[in-house]
Structure 1
């Protein structure tokens, strides 16, 4: 009973968990899952939601009440060193890391056992298609080659055999568990959000050519291709498995105005100056090195036509208006989720880098986008107002419009 004499609310019944994994969209290259494999992903999705919505908030309570008591912090690194001494933070961090490792292994169980079948299905959809351009001689950047991003063994680029797509399939089928369904049926809520923002805020933009840098398997670029069907879309990445899988996925979803190119986005001489009306990155910059980001900015300026736009969608920068506690919590990915460039990227002065790349300061764009989710499979999405310092489907946009001479 509560103080009013009414039965107290059942906290278990009030829990608004993610949708069932069976709501995930199945396209022509999506791996087959057994009953137990589905339930592993369901467990991990619920565990991630529980950690974000029920466990994490108590860390702030502990920080305000005892961890920070009598202490004065001047930067996020001091806050992190204080947090890692706290048993409650240690428990949360260990569970969060463990769920990511379990998510990656669950995906590997799914994809490696059907690796050859997936490669054959991808080949049947992509072999001979001019919309897939691979470069076996391309040297991977060190900042890609040396890291198992998100704790995924082999990251985006490792190939286990001819025509391999296993790690791309792993990333695709397991993303639901990491996000708890917050990116929707096709895990493309980020791309849908960008397309919606552009149509609302830049209605004069009628792109003929769109370039996506660091496209992965295309979750975020396919919605742009769908929203602008008259545009030619070029998606670039260094990972051949991602690109094979990406084209197969696009074709099976009926998206025909996109092609996938393997290249290092720091330098794209195969594309002419001023040859794109829109250049896009989505949650990509934090996986590049400090120096490469500045080269990427310069390359986007070269590739943009006058009047064209560049948009970089990322988690927010660590500015003076962000509390040190939040900065330290957001830094978790840099130390425990194989995202070593996360911390430096988020403290960088991106505005200055954009200006140094050639964009006029008065042309810079700052905005925010929130992932678009299919409410028919995730009806509680509209009520999600919490913050989990990095997992919530809400991002900042830093961009610019190239001046017309």
Structure 2
């Protein structure tokens, strides 16, 4: 029988009698409760159990990033890297060798399986919420948009291969699938799950990226007063609504290939009191419906990694054509794989390409974007570089809970900016 430590029968005297000060309570550093999510006019209703499910997923994502992922790094340094160097008599030559070595290790396998499982669970959790109220959602959005000239759909529109063939980040049907005519359950699913996937780091309305871009432009270009703004790959408008709010006198045009996203996006914007955005269906690699020199600002936010390698040069050329002299284009993305980025980090960032249905991610992040911008016609000395981090409502995500050190290799709410000003 194990020994049991019992307290003394009499209290100790002297210095030993002084009680140790109780440790200060630790500040809560987890994700915010899902119940604080911003509920706009077309946001799906959620039950107690559905909220609990999203809260679990948010905490699981946080746990994987903060507690499990560092263990993969430790395993890499302690056994994966030494074993490779011992066997091959050399160091890793590129991220692909690192990734293949990682996949053989149980620590990486555990983390990867949990991460993929969490993403699939998040998608199915949101899918159940939206499908059970599909008729009400579709009807509500239809009433708000069907006679509104700010929704411009293209009957017979053919989806680009880059959207048609892929369920991006495990989202059933991706951005374009309609289960019934006028369906919006796909974008509604997307909308309600971001808060859980990011742990609230994008704010109450999941618009922290767009808010950050608007603030960055106002801070770095205080004299810039755009009258016409084009947002490409707008999705359901999370990141374009903040631009419209920041520049209420500007005309905003938002383009996407997915009709469900555009329907839902317009209804969402209207319910938030934003009425200066027109949502148009189109292929952003061919925007010939717009005239040359017709926009002051062209914007994309976390969009390029979901476009094909073949389409990207066309997109860059189109943005150059559409900009007015003196206008700007900004692309906000996760950082490129540069020579100073460790191969381990590159391999971990590549996880989304191989295991999260983001096949264009790996190629997009290795190309020289500066060179591609120059090839599209932008002057080298007119290129723009910067960085933005999501602006989050502190009432939703207190300063004490913000994680400024842990990088989730692809999901951290901080991005690089690459762009250019069109020279007159």
TM-score band, normalised by shorter chain: over 0.9
Which of 218, 221, 246 in structure 2 is aligned with 1:227? Answer: 246
Which of 50, 57, 72 in structure 2 is aligned with 1:37? Answer: 50
Counterpart CA distance in 2 for 1:289 and 1:9 is: 54
After superposition, residues 233-272 of structure 1 pair within 5 angstroms as 233-272=252-291
Which of 164, 170, 174 in structure 2 is aligned with 1:145? Answer: 164
Counterpart CA distance in 2 for 1:213 and 1:18 is: 30
Question: Offset of 1:113 from its aligned partner?
Answer: 1.1
Question: Offset of 1:385 from its aligned partner?
Answer: 2.5
In the alignment, structure 1 residue 301 sits paired with structure 2 residue 320 = yes
Structure 2 equivalent of residue 356 of structure 1: 375
Question: Offset of 1:68 from its aligned partner?
Answer: 0.6
Structure 1 residue matching 2:365: 3-state secondary structure: helix
CA RMSD of aligned residues (A): 1.6
Structure 2 residue matching 1:347: 3-state secondary structure: coil
Structure 1 residue matching 2:43: 3-state secondary structure: coil
After superposition, residues 382-401 of structure 1 pair within 5 angstroms as 382-401=402-421
Question: Offset of 1:271 from its aligned partner?
Answer: 0.7
Question: Offset of 1:162 from its aligned partner?
Answer: 1.6
Q: Deviations over 1:69-89 (max 9, x none)?
A: 152101000110111111011
8 Å CA contact 2:29, 2:402 repeated in 1: no
In the alignment, structure 1 residue 108 sits paired with structure 2 residue 121 = no
Counterpart CA distance in 1 for 2:48 and 2:368 is: 47
Question: Offset of 1:384 from its aligned partner?
Answer: 2.9
Counterpart CA distance in 2 for 1:8 and 1:170 is: 45
8 Å CA contact 1:375, 1:381 repeated in 2: no
Counterpart CA distance in 2 for 1:51 and 1:353 is: 35
Which runs of 5 or more residues in structure 2 are unaligned? 1-18, 86-90
Counterpart CA distance in 2 for 1:224 and 1:321 is: 33
Counterpart CA distance in 1 for 2:420 and 2:185 is: 36
Which runs of 5 or more residues in structure 1 are unaligned? none
Counterpart CA distance in 1 for 2:325 and 2:340 is: 34
Which of 37, 46, 62 in structure 1 is aligned with 2:59? Answer: 46
Structure 2 equivalent of residue 16 of structure 1: 29
After superposition, residues 200-215 of structure 1 pair within 5 angstroms as 200-215=219-234
Question: Offset of 1:179 from its aligned partner?
Answer: 0.4
Structure 1 residue matching 2:330: 3-state secondary structure: strand
Question: Offset of 1:316 from its aligned partner?
Answer: 0.2
Counterpart CA distance in 2 for 1:67 and 1:7 is: 44
Counterpart CA distance in 2 for 1:14 and 1:6 is: 21
Counterpart CA distance in 2 for 1:101 and 1:177 is: 12
8 Å CA contact 1:182, 1:381 repeated in 2: no
Structure 2 residue matching 1:85: 3-state secondary structure: coil
Structure 2 residue matching 1:69: 3-state secondary structure: helix
Structure 2 residue matching 1:68: 3-state secondary structure: helix
Structure 1 equivalent of residue 365 of structure 2: 346
- The runs of 4+ residues in structure 1 deviating greater than 6 Å are 5-10
